[in-house]
Amino acid sequence: MTEHTTRVDVGIVGGGPAGLMTALLLKRRGISAAVIESRSEETIRHTQRAGILEAPTVNMLVEAEVDSRVLTHGHEHEGTVLSFDGIQRRIDFQALVGRSVWLYPQNEVFHDLATAWQRESGEIHWSVTETAVEGIETAAPRISFTDAQGRARRIEADLIIGTDGSRSMCRKLIPEDIRTDHFTSYPFAWFGILCEAPPTAPELIYANSEIGFALISQRNETVQRMYFQCDPDTDPEAWSEEAIFDHIQQVLGAEDGVQLKRGPIIEKTVLPFRSYVCDPLSHGRLALAGDAGHTVPPTGAKGLNLAFSDVRALVPRVEEFITELRTHAGVADASDETAASSDVAATAVTVETPEPLRRYSRTALDRVWKAQNFSYWATNLLHRQPEETSFTHKRRRGEFDAITDSVHGRAYFADSYTGWSD
Ligand SMILES: Cc1cc2nc3c(=O)[nH]c(=O)nc-3n(C[C@H](O)[C@H](O)[C@H](O)COP(=O)(O)OP(=O)(O)OC[C@H]3O[C@@H](n4cnc5c(N)ncnc54)[C@H](O)[C@@H]3O)c2cc1C
- For ligand 1, residues with CB inside 6 Å are 13-19, 36-39, 44, 49-52, 106, 128, 131, 163-165, 169, 192, 271, 290-291, 298, 301-305, 307
* Residue 224 to residue 221: CA distance in whole angstroms: 8
Q: Please, what are the domains in the chain?
A: 4-53+105-183+275-331+349-375 (3.50.50.60)
What pLDDT, in 10s, does the model give residues 30-58? 999 999 999 999 999 999 888 999 999 99
* Residue 365 to residue 373: CA distance in whole angstroms: 12
Confidence check: pLDDT of 347 > 60: yes
* CA dihedral sign of residues 293, 299, 302, 303: positive
Residue 70 near residue 61, CB atoms below 8 Å = yes
Residue nearest to atom 2 of ligand 1 (CA): 49
Ligand 1 binding pocket mutation candidate from 22, 109, 164 (most atoms within 8 A of CB): 164
What pLDDT, in 10s, does the model give residues 267-323? 999 999 999 999 999 999 999 999 999 999 999 999 999 999 999 999 999 999 999
More confident residue, 335 or 95: 95
Residue 236 near residue 191, CB atoms below 8 Å = yes
Confidence check: pLDDT of 126 > 60: yes
> Considering the chain, what is the average pLDDT of its residues?
94
- For residues 393-419, average pLDDT: 97
The phi-psi region of residue 65 (left if phi > 0; otherwise alpha if psi is between -120 and 50; otherwise beta) is left
User: Residue 332: pLDDT band by 50, 70, 90 thresholds?
Assistant: low
* CA dihedral sign of residues 312, 288, 293, 18: positive
Residue environment code for 351-381, b if the CB has 16+ CB neighbours within 10 A, otherwise e: eebbebbbebbebbbebbeebbebbbbbbeb
Residue 122 near residue 21, CB atoms below 8 Å = no
What pLDDT, in 10s, does the model give residues 144-182? 999 999 999 999 999 999 999 999 999 999 999 999 999
- For residues 129-134, average pLDDT: 98
Radius of gyration of the chain (CA): 23
